[in-house]
């Protein structure tokens, strides 16, 4: 990576608001944005579509290393199909936390993520951006929020897309996924030792964006 490329990492559990906040910060600073979760979702969607057994680690690695997604004006194309919304279903979310635990899949996606660091800078969101993929980042953030608040946010997202949402089931699913992300051996969900922590349970998007931009001003 070129020395002049600045990197901000934003990690945290599912539905902690990382994506929305990371996109906003990237926009404010004129930086590129990497949604690393989308890559894990794409690999999983592709595996489901091809009928790859989710317990076949080698086959999953091949599925991940041979995919060539195209990111185009907010849409994602995979094997010629617009999968922008299809990778966001609860079914794909659940399967993704299993696929993301496979070391070969993580290795296959590593270079793709590193290549996203282009001048003038990158805001990368995920689970291991600050710990594994960009350990040299200029600013590392770890966002948290209570499971109840996160389930409510996810429910509102689903309802905005015209889907129904069962809040109890969403809370259970989020907790189960977090547990798997935290307890896996490879690149588990955890703050980097030098990350700044922020609990967003009682904060709106604007407040979180402002706080992070303040931290960025201090870090520069
Ligand atoms: O951020 P998200 O909800 O789109 O992530 C989907 C899944 O991918 C989630 O179970 C965690 C996993 N993931 C990961 O293991 N490492 C990342 N850098 C990003 C996501």
**CA of 16 relative to ligand 1 center, distance in Å:** 12
CA-to-CA separations, 205 to 18, 24, 37, 174, 196, in angstroms, rounded: 10, 9, 20, 20, 17
Q: Is a pLDDT exceeding 90 seen at residue 13? A: yes
DSSP letter for each residue of 145-164: --HHHHHHHHHHHHHHTT--
Q: Is a pLDDT exceeding 60 seen at residue 129? A: yes
**CA of 8 relative to ligand 1 center, distance in Å:** 17
Q: Which spans in the chain are helix H?
A: 18-29, 36-50, 57-65, 90-99, 103-114, 147-160, 167-183, 205-219
Question: Mean pLDDT in the chain?
Answer: 94
105-136 per-residue burial string, b: 16 or more CB within 10 A, e: under 16: bbebbeebbeebbeeebbbbbbbbbbbbbbee
Q: Kindly state if the Cβ of 150 falls inside 6 Å of ligand 1.
A: no
CA-nearest of 36, 17, 33, 7 to 207 is: 17
Q: For residue 161, what pLDDT is reported?
A: 85
**CA of 188 relative to ligand 1 center, distance in Å:** 10
Q: Is a pLDDT exceeding 90 seen at residue 14? A: no
Q: Kindly state if the Cβ of 106 falls inside 6 Å of ligand 1.
A: no
Q: Kindly state if the Cβ of 126 falls inside 6 Å of ligand 1.
A: yes
Express as a percent the part of the chain with pLDDT over 90: 88
What digits encode the pLDDT tens for the residues 193-219? 999 999 999 999 999 999 999 999 998
**CA of 182 relative to ligand 1 center, distance in Å:** 11
Neighbouring-strand partners of residue 141: 10, 196
CA-to-CA separations, 211 to 11, 128, 198, in angstroms, rounded: 15, 21, 9
What digits encode the pLDDT tens for the residues 38-53? 999 999 999 999 999 9
* pTM of the predicted structure, to 2 decimals: 0.94
What digits encode the pLDDT tens for the residues 157-203? 889 989 899 999 999 989 998 999 999 999 999 999 999 999 999 99
| Pair 134, 145: CB distance under 8 Å | no
Q: For residue 4, what pLDDT is reported?
A: 82
């Amino acid at each position: 990576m070129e020395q002049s490329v600045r990197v901000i990492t934003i990690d945290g559990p599912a539905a902690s608001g990382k994506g929305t906040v990371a996109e906003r910060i990237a926009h404010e600073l004129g930086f590129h944005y990497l949604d690393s979760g989308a890559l894990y979702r794409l690999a999983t969607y592709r595996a489901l579509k091809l009928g790859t057994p989710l317990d076949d680690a080698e086959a999953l690695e091949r599925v991940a290393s041979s995919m060539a997604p195209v990111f185009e004006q907010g849409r994602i194309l995979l094997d010629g199909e617009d999968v922008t919304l299809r990778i966001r279903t609860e079914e794909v979310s659940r399967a993704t936390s299993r696929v993301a635990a496979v070391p070969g899949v993580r290795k296959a996606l590593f270079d793709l993520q590193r290549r996203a660091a282009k001048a003038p800078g990158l805001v990368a969101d995920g689970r291991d951006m600050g710990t594994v993929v960009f350990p040299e980042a200029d600013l590392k953030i770890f966002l948290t929020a209570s499971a109840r608040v996160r389930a409510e946010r996810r429910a509102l997202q689903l309802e905005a897309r015209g889907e129904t949402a069962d809040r109890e089931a969403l809370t259970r699913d989020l907790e189960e996924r977090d547990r798997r992300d935290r307890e896996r051996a490879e690149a588990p969900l955890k703050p980097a030792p030098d990350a700044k922590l922020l609990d967003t349970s009682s904060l709106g998007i604007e407040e979180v964006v402002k706080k992070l931009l303040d931290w960025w001003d201090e870090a520069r």
